[in-house]
């Protein structure tokens, strides 16, 4: 994530210096870098925790986890 953000920030700053458009490329590539960084984290989480869903479903279906029936008044 850090590499994506700072790499794109550096590239946007370099483009701004080259073309003389001071804040525009820096801001654009900073936003692109932040999006890319969060996408990398999302993909890493999906790749490493894809087998957790059956465990969570089985825990939720255990009888001791269910609510007791409401008491009759």
| Residue-wise pLDDT tens digits, 14-71 | 999 999 998 999 999 999 999 999 999 989 888 887 666 666 666 666 666 667 778 8
What pLDDT, on a 0 to 100 scale, did the predictor assign at position 48? 80
Residues 6+ away with beta carbon under 8 Å from 58: none
How many residues appear in the chain? 73
């Amino acid at each position: 994530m850090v590499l994506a953000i700072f790499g794109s920030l550096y590239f946007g700053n370099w483009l701004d210096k080259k073309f003389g458009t001071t804040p525009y490329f820096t801001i654009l590539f900073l936003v692109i870098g932040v999006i890319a960084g969060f996408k990398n984290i999302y993909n890493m989480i999906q790749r490493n925790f894809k087998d957790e869903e059956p465990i969570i479903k089985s825990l939720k279906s255990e009888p001791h986890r269910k609510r007791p029936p409401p008491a009759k008044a």
